[in-house]
Structures are given as C-alpha cells and as structure tokens.
Amino acid sequence: MSVANSLYARLLGWLLLLLLGLGGIMVQQAWLDAKLTADRAYDRLLEAATLAIAEQVKWQDDRLWLDLPPAALEMLSTDAEERVFYSLHDANGRFVTGNIELPALGTENSHSSPGNDIFTVDNMHYRDLPLRLGTRYARIDVWQTSAGFEVRMAHTREGRQQLTNQLFRRSLSYILGMAALSVSIFLVAIRLALAPLTRLRRALRERDPRTLEPLTLPLPRELAELREALNELLKRMRRVHAGQERFIGDASHQLRTPLAGLSARAELALRHQDPEQWRDALKAMLDTSTHASRQAMQLLSLTRLNNPEYRPELKPLNLAHLAQDAVTRHWSTCHRAGIDLGLNAPSAETNTTPPVIFGEQWQLEEALSNLIDNAQRHGARHITLSTTMEPLGILVDDDGPGIPTALRTRVLRPFHRISHDPEGSGLGLAIVNSIARAHHAQFILSDSPTGGLRAALYFPASQPNLSIAENTPCAT
C-alpha cells in the first residue's frame, strides 16, 4: 500500500501538513510572546531601578549629587546574576557618576517635555555584551533654576533569556500536547470515516458470486453514490445476462429444428424399400445438414464477435480491393442463379488516395458475403458493390423488395426474419452489425437508388494515419 494510493495515508498526510503549518505558526508566536513578556517584566525592573536612583539625585554644592541606593543595583541582578551598569548624566549628557559611561538612547525623545519623567528602554551592546538599557530623564527643581539629569541603567539579558525559555517551554509543552491529541483524534476519526468502505468491501466479497441482485447495505452519502453506480452496473449485467440466455435458447431452437427434420426424413426413408427414395432422402438430409452446419458456423462467429474480451487484429485494408474480391468470389454463384453482380468502383486509377481503413480482413469479407447472400436470398436481380470516399464506406445495393423502415433496426437482432425463408438463418445482418461495431463503423440500411435496399458500412474518418496503400494483404 503506497502512500499515494492509500486514502488513509492521504487524509492523514494532509491533516498532518495542516497541523505542522499551524503548529509552526503557534510555536513562533509563542516564542515572540515569551520574549515580549519577559522583556516587559524585566523592563519594569529597569524602570523601578532608574526611579529609585532618580529619587536620590540632589542638587548639592552647585552640582548634581547622588547617594546611590545599593538596592537599585540589586534590583537589576536577579537569580540569573546579571551584570549591572549605571551612570548619571547631567542635562548636557556629561558623565557625573557611574561604573561605566553608558551611551544615550535615541535622540527622538530629546527631553521635549521638561518636568516630566521620560523612561525609554532599548537593546545595546557594550564590549560584546548584549545589554538592555533603560534611561530616565528627570528634573530636580532648585530655587533659582531647575536641573535636568539622566539616569541610565543597563543589565545583561540572562534573566530575560531564562524567563523567555521558561515561558516558551511551557507554551511548547501545551502545543505539543495539543498536537499529540490532534494526531490521535485524526487517527481515530479517519479510521472511523473509512470504516464504511471496509463494510462495502466485505459485503461485496461475501456475496453469492452467481447473484446479480442490487446491493442494499446502508452507507454514507459518498459511498451510497458508489453503491448506486454498482447497482447500475449489476442491472446492465442482468440485462446482458438475460439477452445471452435468450440467445442460447434461440440458438438451440434453431439447431434443434434441422436436427428434428433430419431425424424425421431418415425415419420416413427407412419405411421405404426403394433405394430411389433413400437417395432423395439422403440428398434432402445433406441439404439440411449443410444448412445447419452453416448456421452453427454463423452462431459461432456471432458469439466470437460479441465477446467483449475479443480484440481484432487491425490491419490497413483497401476497401476497393475488398469489394473487388467479394465480387470475384460470388460472381459464379450469382451468375448461376441468374443474378447480375457488379462492382461500381469510381475510377480507382485516377484516385490518388485509396480508401484505406483499419480492419480484420476475414470479418469484412464475411460481412460482404452476408450482405450479397442476403440480397441474393431476398430476390434481387441486380446487386452492385461500390465504395465511397466521403465518408469512407462500402455499399451493397440491390433491387429486391427491400426492408420496411420500421423493421430496419429489428432485423439487426439475431434470429429475426422478415420472410419465412427456410434457408435463412436470421443471423446474417446481426453478424454484419456486430462486425461493424467491432470496427467502430456504422451499419446503415436505407433505400437504394436502384429500387431495393442499400446496406452501407461507413467507417470512422479518423483512421490511424498509415502510409500503406498498395502493399496491403488484399492488394492482389
């Protein structure tokens, strides 16, 4: 069971892809959130520490004075033991005191609102140490004047990093838990959703192989459609099955009649002592058995043609040559019966493109024989074969009584006869029809300009393009 062919794997694959995508976004968001939360929490510390220092800034001896509260520094060093830096600058940015001289933060907040504390915070680097720097600008009011100053404090990021990791780990475990739960629910859900398929398979497998009854098991909508399609197929198969049974019944009936005739004739002859009678009887029996064997042959070929597994070997054939051969073959029989069999070939020499189709030679020969035979049998005096180019086809015209339009489709069924001709098998036109179907050709019965019936075989125009013209098997 490869992945591409398994519904289960396909569904699971898509769901997992979705889960992976969403999970990725959630993980990224969780990381950003954790970072933001940690920064916010620790920035509060920076804010409080700068405030604690700013409150201790005094104006003394005409200069800024600071009694540095150690707690302000302690505040910034949490369990992570961050490095702490601070410095105090006057309004002009000159260094007053501190353990290092910290840089000023961006110029956009250039002390625009004097009197108010302004606290800003940002990331920076000091000697390769990543620091978070908070600056507070404040003023102290003395009698004559008011002095601005700036407290800058920074610490390293270990504590923030630890908090971020801690928060992120917690979010991650939630996300992973949810993912695990989702996957297990997916697994169960897909299995449940696909369970009716298993039921259908089991129902099909457990069926009596001989029955063609429709399936009735209850299925979800999507599979109910499949069940209906299956039932359609079964219905068609039932029809085909019935047709076949009828055919077999007809066929055995057809063969039983001549066999019964033979028995009756032989019995009758045996009652006589006259050899002349026997001779007549034998002659009649020979005729009957010849006819029966021909009928058996036709039944066989019809069965063969109707077999859906049958794939004819298609070869390029020249229709003109086929018609020519058929005329040659039947000419003597027709001549003896006083029938004029002719070929109406449209000047084959001038025609640059011969009417080539792909087909099985023996089948097409059989079809033409049947058509000539049929015309002959139904009292035609003139039979003419001709080929056409547009559309590609072969025609058999006669001047017999023809077939009424209403019956033209019915005569194509096996064992259907118009006249009660004892010689006819009722299979000739059915065989031609089957051959036409095997060649994707149209078999059309119409009125002939010569007064009788025109039987036409029109082949599809889009024949496989082959440059075979003269070296076809029938180009004799």
Partner 1 sequence: MRYLSTCLTLLLTVFITPRPGLADNILGDTTRTAANVLTLNAKNTSSKNELVLHGALDMEYITPILSAFHQRYPHISITYRNLETLELHQRFQDAPNEVDILISSAMPWQYQLANDGYAQSLDSPIAKSWPAQARWRQELFAFTFEPVVMVVHRELTQRYGQLSGYVDLLNLLKAHGTDLNGRIVTYNPATSGAGYSHAIQEAQLSPRYWDLISAFGNANAQLVNTTSAMLEGLIEGRFWIGYGLLGSYAQPSVEANPELEIIIPESYVLVTQRTALVSRHAPNAENARTFMDFLLGKTGQHIIAEQTPLGALHPEVIGEGSAAELRRLHGDALRPLALTPALLATLDNLKRQALLQRWQREFSPTLPEVTTSADAQ
Closer residue to partner 1 in complex, CB, 58/201: 58
Pairing verdict, β 63-66 and 57-60: antiparallel
Q: Which of 96, 215, 282, 284 binds partner 1 (CB under 8 A)?
A: 96
The interface region with partner 1, picked from 23-31, 90-98, 275-283, 332-340 by CB under 8 A, is 90-98
Closer residue to partner 1 in complex, CB, 151/430: 151
Q: How far is the CB of 148 from partner 1 (least distance, A)?
A: 18
x-or-dash pattern for partner 1, window 51-80, by CB under 8 A?
Answer: --------------xxxxxxxxxx-xx---
Q: How far apart are CA 393 and CA 364, in angstroms?
A: 12
Closer residue to partner 1 in complex, CB, 98/355: 98
Q: How far is the CB of 85 from partner 1 (least distance, A)?
A: 8
Closer residue to partner 1 in complex, CB, 81/421: 81
Q: How far is the CB of 169 from partner 1 (least distance, A)?
A: 22
Q: How far is the CB of 168 from partner 1 (least distance, A)?
A: 23
Tokens 């979010």, located at residue: 171
**129 lines the binding site for partner 1 (CB under 8 A):** yes
Q: Which of 12, 46, 84, 367 binds partner 1 (CB under 8 A)?
A: 84
Distances (CA, A) of 3 to 8, 9, 20, 29, 207: 8, 6, 18, 32, 30
Tokens of 133: 């720097």
Q: How far apart are CA 144 and CA 473, in angstroms?
A: 126
> 212 by DSSP, 3-state: which?
coil
Q: How far is the CB of 185 from partner 1 (least distance, A)?
A: 45
The interface region with partner 1, picked from 126-134, 257-265, 385-393, 462-470 by CB under 8 A, is 126-134
Q: Which of 17, 21, 28, 81 binds partner 1 (CB under 8 A)?
A: 81
**128 lines the binding site for partner 1 (CB under 8 A):** yes
Q: How far is the CB of 81 from partner 1 (least distance, A)?
A: 5
Closer residue to partner 1 in complex, CB, 97/332: 97
Pairing verdict, β 453-458 and 442-447: antiparallel
Q: What's the distance, Cα to Cα, between the start and end of the chain in Å?
A: 56
Closer residue to partner 1 in complex, CB, 128/313: 128
Do residues 388 and 395 lie in contact, with contact meaning Cβ atoms separated by under 8 Å? yes
Tokens of 178: 């949810």
Q: Site size for partner 1, by CB under 8 A?
A: 25
Distances (CA, A) of 439 to 36, 264, 298, 432: 78, 43, 18, 11
Q: How far apart are CA 133 and CA 102, in angstroms?
A: 8
DSSP per position, 331-377: HHHHHHTT-EEEEE---TTT-SS--EEEE-HHHHHHHHHHHHHHHHH
**HSE (CB half, 13 Å, CA atoms) of 174?**
9
The interface region with partner 1, picked from 98-106, 189-197, 439-447, 466-474 by CB under 8 A, is 98-106
Closer residue to partner 1 in complex, CB, 88/403: 88
**97 lines the binding site for partner 1 (CB under 8 A):** yes
Q: How far is the CB of 138 from partner 1 (least distance, A)?
A: 17
Pairing verdict, β 340-344 and 382-388: parallel
Do residues 100 and 83 lie in contact, with contact meaning Cβ atoms separated by under 8 Å? no
Closer residue to partner 1 in complex, CB, 34/45: 45
Bridge partner residues of 58 (DSSP): 65
Q: How far is the CB of 97 from partner 1 (least distance, A)?
A: 5
Q: Which of 125, 127, 311, 336 binds partner 1 (CB under 8 A)?
A: 127
Closer residue to partner 1 in complex, CB, 84/474: 84
**124 lines the binding site for partner 1 (CB under 8 A):** no
Q: How far is the CB of 136 from partner 1 (least distance, A)?
A: 17
Closer residue to partner 1 in complex, CB, 158/280: 158
Q: How far is the CB of 139 from partner 1 (least distance, A)?
A: 19
421 Cβ contact list (under 8 Å, min separation 6) = 377, 378
By CB under 8 A, the residues from 299 to 358 that bind partner 1 are none
458 Cβ contact list (under 8 Å, min separation 6) = 391, 392, 393, 441, 442, 444
**393 lines the binding site for partner 1 (CB under 8 A):** no
Q: How far is the CB of 158 from partner 1 (least distance, A)?
A: 9
Long-range contacts of 68-73 (CB under 8 A, 24+ apart): 68/97, 72/153, 73/49
**Contact residues for partner 1 (CB under 8 A)?**
65-74, 76-77, 81, 83-86, 96-100, 127-129
